[in-house]
Amino acid sequence: MDACQQYPIRLRINGQDRTFEVEAWVTLLDLLRERAGLTGTKKGCDHGQCGACTLLLDGRRINACLTLAVMQNGHEVTTIEGLATSDTLHPLQQAFIDHDAFQCGYCTPGQICSAAGLVAEGQAKTADDVRELMSGNLCRCGAYPQIARAVCDVMGIRP
Ligand code: FES
Ligand code: FES
């Protein structure tokens, strides 16, 4: 197999159809950051262990560093850049601001996308559930209490 062979793929990214030619080994994370110009999704560990690269694929949260772009041909991707609508922040973005739920901000896009997936899953009923179901998203600054409060606020859960 030619390692440099490229494959055509089509993705719907933040509501826009985009086409790319990608090598088989390119991750979805690298495609977004380096070829689609969407650097909001962060690369932390690049090994599925930190959650910095979390985004929504067909509405479900995934780690973008763990999937190859060619595997997602025809699918829908929502990144942190796609959550706000025109000039209005997504409620989770506003809640993170209101609750001071970040320090350096590096983990924040992944935290917010993960929280959006969590809300859509509808499984979290308590603050402990929120903490458990967000445990794949690490924050080196230790902003966990504020992050949990922000997510609980949007979900109407008492923190
Ligand atoms: S960069 Fe993907 S989980 Fe860490
Ligand atoms: S705010 Fe700095 S890593 Fe989470």
At 97-127, the pLDDT tens digits run 999 999 999 999 999 999 999 999 999 999 9
| pLDDT, position 1 | 59
Low-confidence ranges of the chain (pLDDT < 70): 1, 3
| pLDDT, position 4 | 86
| pLDDT, position 36 | 98
DSSP state of 31: I
Measured between alpha carbons, how far is 29 from 67 in angstroms, rounded to an integer? 8
CA of 141 to the centre of ligand 2 (A): 4
Measured between alpha carbons, how far is 36 from 50 in angstroms, rounded to an integer? 22
Measured between alpha carbons, how far is 70 from 50 in angstroms, rounded to an integer? 23
CA of 33 to the centre of ligand 1 (A): 13
Residue 41 corresponds to which tokens in the numbers above? Answer: 């999704």
For residue 103 and ligand 2, the question of a CB distance below 6 A is answered with yes
Q: Which residues line ligand 1 (CB under 6 A)?
A: 43-46, 48-53, 63, 65
For residue 101 and ligand 2, the question of a CB distance below 6 A is answered with no
User: The sheet that has 54-57: what strands, in order across it?
Assistant: 16-23, 6-13, 76-78, 54-57, 60-63
Sole residue written with tokens 């949990």: 148
Q: Strand 6-13 vs strand 76-78: parallel, antiparallel, or unpaired?
A: parallel
Alpha helices in the chain (DSSP H): 28-30, 91-98, 108-121, 127-133, 144-155
Ligand nearest to the CA of residue 109, numbered in listed order: 2
Measured between alpha carbons, how far is 121 from 98 in angstroms, rounded to an integer? 24
Q: Which atom of ligand 1 is nearest to the CA of 43?
A: 1
